[in-house]
Structure 1
Amino acid sequence: MQQIIDLIYNIVWSKALIYLCLLTGVYFTIRFKFPQLLYFKQMIKLLFVKNNDNKGISSFQAFSLAISGRVGTGNIAGVATAIGMGGPGAIFWMWVIAFLGSSSAIIEATLGQLYKETKDGEFRGGPAYYIEKGLNNKVFAWIFALVTIISTGFLLPSVQSNSIAVAVKSAFNLSPVIMGIFISFVLGIIIIGGVKRISKVAEYVVPFMAGLYILMAIVIIGLNFQEIPDVLRLIFSSAFSTDVTFGGIVGAAISWGVKRGIYSNEAGQGTAPHAAAAAQVSHPIKQGLVQGFSVYIDTLFVCTATAFMILFTGMYNVQATDGSFIVNNIPGVAIGAEFTQYAVSAHFPLLGSGFVAVALTLFAFTTIMAYYYIAESNLSFMLRSRKSIFLLWGLRLMILFSVFIGCLTTAKMAWDLGDIGVGLMAWLNLVAIILLHNKVLLLFKDYEKQKKRGKDPVFDNTIYKIKNVSEWDN
C-alpha cells in the first residue's frame, strides 16, 4: 500500500509542480504590480467592514474561516518537518512561497467572489464554480470538485487528526482511540450546523488560538533576542548552500520549503476561494485582498514563530537524502510536532509539551472544520438545484471516519496522503487561475479607478458585462 502511495506522491509532487507554484506567484506579483505590498494597509482595513446581509458572512468571518483552514498542523508539525527534511534553509523558501503565494491567493479569492452563487440562502463558490462559469468547461469543473471532495473530505483531515493524536499522546499519554472518538464527536456536532455555525466557531476560536500561540512564541523569542541575528544567518546561509553543514541539501530545502509552505498557507491550492465566496462585500477585490493578508498571518507570523522557537533551542534533527542524519540533536525523536514540544519545554519544562498539544489540537480541529465546509461546497456544486440527504450524510460520515482513522494510522502515511490531496488541487487550480487572471486584472482597474475618485468601490457588472456572474448583475 505504501509503495502505491509513494508512486502517486512522486508523480504529483514532481519538480514541475514546485516550479509551477513559484513561477505562478512571480508572474502574478509582477503582472499585478506587487499587490501584496501595494494594498497592505487596505488588507487590514477591509477585515473589519461590517456585514448587514443575512445571506453572506462578514469579511472577518470569511477571513477567520480561511485562517482556520490555513492555520493548522502545517504551522506546528509542518514547519518542524520542513526543518527536519530540508534543514533551516527550508524556512526561507516558506517565506518566499508565502510572499509570492499571497498574490495567487488574491487572484483565486477574487475569482471565488466574482463567480459565487446563492443556494439555500447562503453564498457558495470556489474553483469549481469559476472553472465552469469563467472557462465554460463543465468537465474540468467536475474533476476539480470531485478531487476536492476526496482531498478535503478524506485525505487531508487524517493529517490533522494524526498530528493531534501524536502530540496529545506525547504530552498526556492519552490513547489515540479516545482522541479519535472525542474529535469525531465534537466535529459532528459542529458540521451539522452548516457554514453559519462553522464560521461562528472559527470567528471566536481562531483569534484566541493564534494569539495565545504567538504570545508564547514572542516570550521565547524575547528570551533569546540576542540570538535572532544568528538564527537568521543560519536560515539564509542554509537556503543558499553557503553553510557547510547544509550545503548538500539545498534542493531539499527548496522542495520542502515550498511543499510545506503551500500545505500551510494553501495559496493557489484552491481552498480559500470557498471561504472568500461566502462573504458579502461590495466589490470582489475586497475579499481577494483580505484573503491575501491571511497568507501573511499563516506563514510570516505563525510558521515563523514556530521556526524560531525550534531553531533557538536547537531541538531538531535534520535528515539527509540517504536517510542518515546531518544533525541529530534529539536522537530517537521522530520528525514532526515533537520538535516544537521539545522547543517550548526547553524554556517551560512543566508547560511546554502540554501547551503545544493543546494549541495543535485547536489549530488542527478548526482546519478540519474548514475542510468539511470546502467538501460540502463542492458537493453542493455537483448537486446544484438537487438535494440529497443521503450524499450529504455520506460526506459527513466520510470525514468523521477519516478523522478517526487518522488518529490510528502512521504519520508518514497520513502526511503522504495529505500531500497528494494538496498537490492534485494545486495542479488543477493553478491552471484555472492562470487562464482566468485577466478577469481579475479588469476588476483591479475598476477598483483602483473608484478609489482614486474617493469612492468606496462597488462593482457594477452592467458596465463590464462579464458573463455568468449573476450575483453582481444587480
Structure 2
Amino acid sequence: MGFLENLFGLIGDLTWGWALIPFLVIFGVFLTIGTGFVQFRYFKRMFRVLSGSNQTSDPNAISAREALFVSIGGRVGGGNIAGVAVAITLGGPGAVFWMWAIAIVGMATSLVECTLAQVFKRREEDGTFRGGPARMIIYGLGTQYRWLAVLYAICLIAAFGIGFPAFQGNTVAGAAENSFGLSRYITGAVLTIGTGYIVFGGIHRIAKASDIIVPVMALGYIAMAVIVIVLNIGDIPGAFASIFANAFGFQEAVGGGMGAAIAQGLRRGLFSNEAGLGSAPNVAATADVRHPISQGITQSFSVFIDTIIICTCTALMILVSDVYQPGADIDGVVLTQNALADSLGDWTGKFLTIAVLLFAFSSIIYNYYLGENAISFLSENKSAIFGFKLALMAIVFLGAVAPGATAVFFFSDPMMGVLALVNLLALMMLFPILGRVLRDFDEQLKSGVDRPVFDPTQFPDLDLDHTAWDKPKED
C-alpha cells in the first residue's frame, strides 16, 4: 500500500504539481483566441437553453437543458461551498479574481471539448446517444490511438466513478451528523437508496432528477446569497476592492501575496468548473441538438454558472462577514457556515447542510454516469454496467458510514490529472476539426439562419454517425 501511495503521489506531483494547471491556463487562452473569443461572441445565446419551450421532440432523447443541468449538477459541489472558502483563506480575497479568470478561459475550453464530443457521438439502439473523449479519440484520431482512449476510460472510472462518490457520501453524512445529529448509517442508507433509484433508471432518470434538483439547489443557494448581499450592501464595494487589490499585489492578505492568490484561485477554479478535465463532454454528448456548437455553447454556460455566479456568491458571503480571518486554519464548510450565521443566524447551518446534500447527491449521479459511459466504451457486456451500479451504491454507503475509508481512494486526484492531460492532448490534435465545425456554425448565422443545423455530409472525411443528425432537433 505504501508503494502505491508513493506512486500515485508522484503521478499527482507530475500533473497537478508541475504541469497541469499552467497547461490548462495556457491552453484555455489559446482556445479563446483560436475560436475568436467564442465565449463572448455567443454569451447572449447561452441563455436560450433556459427557455422552457426549448425541448427536443424525441421522447427517447435528452434535451440540451437536461444535459446542462446534469453537467451543472456535477460541476457544482463542495468546491463551490468549501473550496471557495479554502481559496480565500489560503490565498486571500484575490483568489476570487483568479477563479473568475480561469472560468472565463475555461468557458472556451468547455465549448471546444463538448462540441467535439457532440461531433463524434453515436446513437444507441434505444435512441439515446453516447460520446465523450474516449469515443472522440477513436473516431476522430483513429483506432491506432485506442490505447489513449482506454487510458482515458480507466482514469475516468477510477477518479469519477469510484473515488469521488465516496468523498461525496462522506461530505453529506458529516454535514447531516453535525447539523441534525443524524447517524451516519441513516444518512448513508437514505443516500444509497436514492442513488440506486436514480442510476437504475438510466440516463433518462438521471436527466429528469437533475432537471429538478439542480435548479432548486442553485436558485436556493443564490437566493440566500442575495439576501446576505442586500443586508450588507454597504460592504460590497469594499469586498470587490479587496478582491482586485489583493489579486494584483497592491494589498497582501496572506503570506505569499499575489502568488498565493493566483495559485489558490487557479487551482480551486479548475477543480470547481472542471473545464478541460474531460468529464463534462461525456454528458454533453447525450444531448439531442441541431448543431454540435449549440451544446458547446450550453456547456460553456455551465462553467459561467458554476464559477462566475455560484462561487462568487460564496465569496461575497464570506468577505462581508466578520468571521473571515486571512490565513486562519479552519475547515472550508465551517467558514461558509459561520459567514452565513453571522448575517442571518444559526439556523442557516441547517440550510447549508441541505444545500451540501443536494450538491453532493447531484454530483454522485453525475459521477455515476461518467463511470457508466467509460465502462460501456471498454465493454459491451451489460452485466459490467449492472455490477458497477451495485459497486457505486456500496462505495457511497462506505464513504458515508466510515469516514476513514475514503483514504483508500487516494488515487482519485492523480488519476484526474492523467485524465486531463489525455483529454487536452486529444483536443490539441482535434482542434482543426473544431475550427471547421465552428466555421460552419458561424457561416450559417451570417447567412441568416437563426438556428444552424449540422449536416454530416459536409464532412465526408470524418468518421461520423449520420443517424445522429437525421432529423431536426431542438437548439
2:370 aligned residue: 374
For 2:90 and 2:55, locate their aligned partners in 1 and report how far apart those are by CA, in whole Å. 43
1:251 aligned residue: 259
The structural deviation recorded for 1:402 is 2.6
- Residue type at the aligned position of 2:394: F
1:379–1:302: structure 2 CA closer, same or farther, 3 Å change rule? same
1:322 aligned residue: none
Of 228, 231, 234, which residue of structure 2 is paired with 1:220?
Answer: 228
1:62 aligned residue: 67
The answer on 1:80 being equivalent to 2:88 is no
1:29 aligned residue: 32
The structural deviation recorded for 1:174 is 2.2
1:460–1:100: structure 2 CA closer, same or farther, 3 Å change rule? same
The structural deviation recorded for 1:451 is 0.9
Of 435, 457, 464, which residue of structure 1 is paired with 2:459?
Answer: 464
The structural deviation recorded for 1:92 is 1.4
For 1:114 and 1:454, locate their aligned partners in 2 and report how far apart those are by CA, in whole Å. 23
1:180–1:351: structure 2 CA closer, same or farther, 3 Å change rule? same
5+ long unaligned stretches in structure 2: 471-475
The answer on 1:14 being equivalent to 2:17 is yes
Of 447, 450, 455, which residue of structure 2 is paired with 1:453?
Answer: 447
Please say if residues 9 and 416 of structure 1, whose CA atoms lie closer than 8 Å, have aligned partners that are also in contact. no
For 1:53 and 1:287, locate their aligned partners in 2 and report how far apart those are by CA, in whole Å. 17
1:331 aligned residue: none
SS in 2 for 1:428: helix
For 2:272 and 2:458, locate their aligned partners in 1 and report how far apart those are by CA, in whole Å. 38
- Residue type at the aligned position of 1:357: T
- Residue type at the aligned position of 2:455: D
The answer on 1:289 being equivalent to 2:306 is no
Of 420, 444, 448, which residue of structure 1 is paired with 2:438?
Answer: 444
1:97 aligned residue: 102
1:299 aligned residue: 307
The answer on 1:156 being equivalent to 2:164 is yes
The structural deviation recorded for 1:269 is 1.0
The structural deviation recorded for 1:426 is 1.5
The structural deviation recorded for 1:47 is 4.3
2:133 aligned residue: 127
What is the correspondence of 1:36-435 to structure 2 with a 5 Å cutoff? 36-48=39-51, 49-121=54-126, 122-136=128-142, 137-246=145-254, 248-318=256-326, 326-327=327-328, 334-383=330-379, 386-389=380-383, 391-407=384-400, 408-409=402-403, 413=407, 418-435=412-429
For 2:179 and 2:439, locate their aligned partners in 1 and report how far apart those are by CA, in whole Å. 52
1:114–1:135: structure 2 CA closer, same or farther, 3 Å change rule? same
- Residue type at the aligned position of 1:206: V
For 1:341 and 1:414, locate their aligned partners in 2 and report how far apart those are by CA, in whole Å. 28
Task: List per-residue Cα deviations over 1:249-274 (Å, max 9, x = no partner).
Answer: 43333222222212211111111111
For 1:259 and 1:416, locate their aligned partners in 2 and report how far apart those are by CA, in whole Å. 18
- Residue type at the aligned position of 1:442: R
1:417–1:260: structure 2 CA closer, same or farther, 3 Å change rule? farther
The structural deviation recorded for 1:414 is 8.6
For 1:68 and 1:473, locate their aligned partners in 2 and report how far apart those are by CA, in whole Å. 27
- Residue type at the aligned position of 1:145: A
The structural deviation recorded for 1:248 is 1.8
- Residue type at the aligned position of 1:397: L
- Residue type at the aligned position of 1:377: N
The structural deviation recorded for 1:440 is 1.2
- Residue type at the aligned position of 1:278: T
Task: List per-residue Cα deviations over 1:121-154 (Å, max 9, x = no partner).
Answer: 1100111010111111111011101110111111
Please report the TM-score for the alignment, with normalisation by the length of structure 1: 0.92
For 2:284 and 2:387, locate their aligned partners in 1 and report how far apart those are by CA, in whole Å. 25
- Residue type at the aligned position of 1:460: D
For 1:354 and 1:56, locate their aligned partners in 2 and report how far apart those are by CA, in whole Å. 37
Aligned-CA RMSD value: 2.1
For 2:316 and 2:408, locate their aligned partners in 1 and report how far apart those are by CA, in whole Å. 26
The structural deviation recorded for 1:310 is 1.2
The structural deviation recorded for 1:186 is 1.0
Task: List per-residue Cα deviations over 1:241-298 (Å, max 9, x = no partner).
Answer: 2223325243333222222212211111111111111111111110000000110001
For 2:28 and 2:55, locate their aligned partners in 1 and report how far apart those are by CA, in whole Å. 31
SS in 2 for 1:313: coil
The structural deviation recorded for 1:87 is 2.5
The structural deviation recorded for 1:239 is 2.1
Task: List per-residue Cα deviations over 1:210-252 (Å, max 9, x = no partner).
Answer: 0011000000011111111211122222222222332524333
SS in 1 for 2:85: helix
- Residue type at the aligned position of 2:35: F
1:169–1:98: structure 2 CA closer, same or farther, 3 Å change rule? same
Please say if residues 117 and 124 of structure 1, whose CA atoms lie closer than 8 Å, have aligned partners that are also in contact. yes
Aligned residues: 459
Please report the TM-score for the alignment, with normalisation by the length of structure 2: 0.91
1:377–1:16: structure 2 CA closer, same or farther, 3 Å change rule? same
Task: List per-residue Cα deviations over 1:422-460 (Å, max 9, x = no partner).
Answer: 323212111111211111111111111111121121111
Greater CA drift, 94-103 or 256-265: 256-265
- Residue type at the aligned position of 1:367: S
Please say if residues 55 and 123 of structure 1, whose CA atoms lie closer than 8 Å, have aligned partners that are also in contact. no
Please say if residues 155 and 416 of structure 2, whose CA atoms lie closer than 8 Å, have aligned partners that are also in contact. no
5+ long unaligned stretches in structure 1: 319-325, 329-333
